Amino acid sequence: MSEMEQTPTPSRPPVVILCEPQLGENIGMVARAMANFGLHDLRIVNPRDGWPSEKARSAASRADHVIDAVQVFDRVEDAVADIQLLFATTARNRDIPKPVVGPDEAAAEAVAYGQKELTTGYMFGRERWGLNNDEVALSNKIVTLPVDPSYASLNIAQAVLVCAYEWRRTATSGQLPFTLDDYEGEPASQEAIQRMFEHLEGALDVRGFFRPVEKKPVTVRRLRNIFQKADLTDNEVRILRGVIASFEKYPAKYGNE
């Protein structure tokens, strides 16, 4: 899969709204965080340095599909007009009676709405002081992250990254993009494992591995346990048999005692 190819999810991704962002670099890093987790609708309200921004594009690290689709608005109300479930992100206590949820709970709600093809969104404030109370008042709920209250400052891209991660983790049920499982063989049968171990035990016995002899039963049991815990595949058992056969070619040092 190419870096720019988007993997579909069973839920409509949320919109990200940035209120009066100051630096193009921050906008670009937000776009990059969004692209990492399958979000693509970025809306900007009154960017201080104007738009388009080459600094934003550079910082986006090839998340061009997000940058190219950016919508710019003069008013927050217009940017959120079509959103049916809007979260305002803030790290500060607000004198506004609204439900406050964590990013995981917000993600669960956003996914549920998105599965019904409803529009959801996360609104983020300015780099220096966040959202104002009028902007927070537009939201349905407040999202706050479980940060250390003695240092609650996150930059915009970090906050977007956490929310986007939680959304995608929920939308995909935690499915990872790849695994490193051995697809070359099915799990080995107990018969195959036992035959391999008997092969190994015989080869080790000939070479005097089990010394002192009276401790052989304990050593054999521990060796067997190593291989049982390994969840070997058929292919791995064949490889191990080949390894054993390779050192069987050399003369035994101690003879068959």
Residuewise pLDDT in 10s, the chain (257 residues): 444 455 567 899 999 999 999 999 999 999 999 999 999 999 999 999 999 999 999 999 999 999 999 999 999 999 999 999 999 998 777 778 899 999 999 999 999 999 999 999 999 999 888 999 999 999 999 999 988 888 877 899 999 999 999 999 999 988 887 666 655 678 899 999 999 999 999 999 888 899 898 999 999 999 999 999 988 989 899 999 999 999 888 776 655 44
For residue 159, give the nearest of 16, 23, 49 by alpha carbon: 16
What is the reported pLDDT for 7? 58
pLDDT of 6 reads 55
Reported CATH class of domain 190-248 = mainly alpha
Question: Rounded CA gap, 121 and 194, in Å?
Answer: 57
CATH fold group of domain 15-171 = Alpha/beta knot (3.40.1280)
Domain residue ranges of the chain, discontinuous segments joined by +: 15-171, 190-248
Contact between 56 and 27 under an 8 Å Cβ cutoff? The reply is: yes
Q: Extract the tokens encoding 127.
A: 């780099």
| Angle between helices 24-36 and 156-171 in degrees, nearest 10 | 10
The model's pTM is 0.73
Rg of the chain over Cα atoms, rounded to whole angstroms, equals 29
Q: How many CB atoms lie within 10 A of CB 210?
A: 18
Closest to 126 (Cα-Cα) out of 227, 29, 20: 20
Residue type, 250: Y
**Which pLDDT score is estimated for 2?**
42
The count of C-alpha atoms lying within 13 angstroms of the C-alpha of 202, restricted to the half-sphere facing its C-beta, is 10
- Residue 257's pLDDT is 46
